[in-house]
Amino acid sequence: MRHLLTLALFAATPLAAQAPATVVPPPSSAVQKAAATITAADVGKRINIIADDSMMGRDTPSPGLEMTAQYVADQFKSFGLKPGGENGTWFQRYEIIQTQFDPAASHVGFIAGGKHVHADFSADARFLFGTPADKEVGGSAIVLGGTADPAALEGLDAKGKVVVLVLDYSKGQLAGGWNRVFGAVFGLEPVGIIILSNRDSAAWATRMKPPYRKGLRVGGDAGRAPLVDVNDAALASVLAAGGVDVAKIRADTGMVVLPAPGLKVMFDLKETELSKTTAPNTIGILEGTDPKLKHEYLVYSGHMDHVGISSGKADSINNGADDDASGTVGVVELAEAFSRPGARPKRSVLFITVSGEEKGLWGSDYFTSNPTVPIKDMVADINIDMIGRNWPDTIVAIGREHSDLGQTLAAVNAQHPELGMAAIDDRWPEENFYGRSDHFNFAKNGVPILFFFNGVHEDYHKPSDSPDKIDADKESRILQLLFYLGQAIANNPERPQWDPDSYAKIVQPPKPAT
C-alpha cells in the first residue's frame, strides 16, 4: 500500500451495506474441493518465502524484487498457467530512469503588471516532486486557498494553467481536507502546481537545507505535474500586481477559487539523467472453457514490491509481510485453486503481481496503459493489498458501491457463512484508499473493481511488518471467499456493470469499457 502523500485521487463515499440482489448458483463439488486447497499452512509458507530477509524488502527496482517476480512465475508455471507477459514470457518490463534535480540551473518565474520575479532554488523555492519538462513551460494562474473544500473544484478547467495554492502554515499542520484538494488538483492536469508558503524564516531555512535526493520515474511517461514550494515573502510585489492578496485569501472562511489571468507562472526546471533500468510485472493466464467468453478476462492483482531497506536501524529490512506479501500470496493461491480439475471457469482469468506500487502505482499504470490482453476485454479487477492482519472475521471491500460487483459479493458472502468472513464497506473514506492501490489504474480505464484491504496497523511500512504477525487462517478464509467470488463473476453470462454516476466520476477520460 502506497503512502497517501498528497495524492488523494478519488474520495469514495460510504454507502449502506448492499443487500444480496444477485442470484449466484451454488458451487459444484469440484469447485468446493478447489477452494479447500487454499489453506493457512500454504499461505504461511508462501508469505515466509516472499517476506524473508533474503528478499531485502523488495524495493523497486532491486534484486529481491526480481527474485520475487521469478518465484511467482515459477509458481504460475507449476500450475499449468500460460505466460501472459511480453514475447511469450511471464514478465512485462517497464523502464525506470534515475535522475538528479539540478537546483542551480532551475528557477520559477512569476510575471504580472510588468514585474518579473525569479524564485530560485537556493533560497526561495523547493522542488518537491514531479517530472520537469524538457523546456520552459507555464501559463496563467488559478489561485486556490481559504478553507479546504474539494467540491468547490468540480468543473474547474486547469489544463494549460498553473494552480497556485495559498496555504497557511502559521498554525502548524494543515487541516486534513487539503489532502483531498491536492488530489483533485492533480486530477485537473495543470502544467504545474505552486504552494505559496508562509512558514517563518527559521522553518523555511530548515526546509531548504536537505540536499536533493536522486529521483526515480518510469521511462516514456509524461509523469506528474511538477510541484514546487515557494516562500511567498519573496513574491509580495508581483503577487500584488497580479491581483492576489494572500492575507485575504488565507483569512477566508470558504474555499477560494480565483482565476488570476494577470499572473503568469513559468517553470524552468532542470535535471540530469543518471541511469536506466527496468522492473517486472509477472503475469499468468488460465484460459476459460467457453469458446466465446474465454476472450474476456477476470483479473486478480496484488503488488509484490515493498519499501526496501531503512538504513541506520538495527532491524533495517522492511519485510512487508502484510504489505503486500499477503496480496502476492493471495494471487498465487487463487491461481493454484482455479487451475484445479473442475475449477476452470468460462471466462479466462489473468493473474498479475505488479511492482512499483509503493513508488506511485507504477507497474499497474504501465500494464493498464500497455495491456498484454485488450483492456476492453477485462470484465473486472479484484485487487488484494494487505489482507493478513487486524480483525479475524472481517475484510473491507472498497469500491463495492461503484458497480454491481458489490451485489455479487454480497450474494457470494451470504452463500458461504462457513467461512466466518464478512466483507464490509469502506470504513475510512476520508483516507481515500480507493486511489491508493493498483485497482485504481484499472478503474480509471473503465474496468469495474473491488479492492480487499484490512486497514493499516502499527507495523505499516516498518521492519516490524514481519511474517510471524500474519493471521494465515484469516487470509485463507478471505481467499476462499475471493475464489468463490471469482467463480461467480467468471461464469456469469453478463459482464459486471458500472453505476453510471460512479463511471462518470472515476473513468478518466470517460470511455466505454466494451
Look-up of cell digits 500497455: 370
Query: What is the fold of 29-96+275-506?
Result: Aminopeptidase (3.40.630)
Q: What span, in angstroms and rounded, lies between the C-alpha atoms of 268 and 137?
A: 7
Query: Which amino acid is located at 11 in the chain?
Result: A
Dihedrals phi, psi of 273, to nearest 5 degrees: -85, 125
Check if the beta carbon of residue 445 is closer than 8 Å to that of residue 371. no
Check if the beta carbon of residue 108 is closer than 8 Å to that of residue 194. yes
Give the model's pLDDT for residue 13.
37
Q: What span, in angstroms and rounded, lies between the C-alpha atoms of 298 and 105?
A: 49
| pTM of the predicted structure, to 2 decimals | 0.86
Query: Which amino acid is located at 42 in the chain?
Result: D
Dihedrals phi, psi of 204, to nearest 5 degrees: -65, -40
DSSP E strand boundaries for 107-198: 107-112, 115-120, 125-129, 137-146, 162-166, 192-197
Q: What span, in angstroms and rounded, lies between the C-alpha atoms of 297 and 490?
A: 8
Domain locations in the chain? 29-96+275-506, 103-269
Which residue from 34, 94, 139, 6 is spatially nearest to 305, judged by alpha carbons?
Answer: 94
pLDDT tens by residue, the chain, 514 residues? 765 443 333 433 333 344 445 789 999 999 999 999 999 999 999 999 999 999 999 999 999 999 999 999 999 999 999 999 999 999 999 999 999 999 999 999 999 999 999 999 999 999 998 889 989 999 999 999 998 888 888 889 999 999 999 999 887 666 667 777 887 888 888 999 999 999 999 999 999 999 999 988 898 766 789 999 999 999 999 999 999 999 999 999 899 999 999 999 999 999 999 999 999 999 999 999 999 999 999 999 999 999 999 988 888 999 999 999 999 999 999 999 999 999 999 999 999 999 999 998 999 999 999 999 999 999 999 999 999 999 999 999 999 999 999 999 999 999 999 999 999 999 988 788 898 899 999 999 999 999 999 999 999 999 999 999 999 999 999 999 999 999 999 999 999 999 999 999 899 765 444 3
Phi-psi region of 342 (alpha: psi -120 to 50; beta: other; left: phi over 0): left
Q: Around Cβ 495, how many Cβ atoms within 10 Å?
A: 17
Give the model's pLDDT for residue 269.
96
Give the model's pLDDT for residue 429.
85
- For residue 315, what is the DSSP state? S
Give the model's pLDDT for residue 12.
37
Give the model's pLDDT for residue 414.
97
Which residue from 14, 95, 23, 19 is spatially nearest to 362, judged by alpha carbons?
Answer: 95
Query: What is the fold of 103-269?
Result: Glucose Oxidase; domain 1 (3.50.30)
Give the model's pLDDT for residue 192.
96
Give the model's pLDDT for residue 280.
98
Which residue from 7, 76, 51 is spatially nearest to 470, judged by alpha carbons?
Answer: 51
Q: What span, in angstroms and rounded, lies between the C-alpha atoms of 405 and 402?
A: 8
Give the model's pLDDT for residue 435.
86
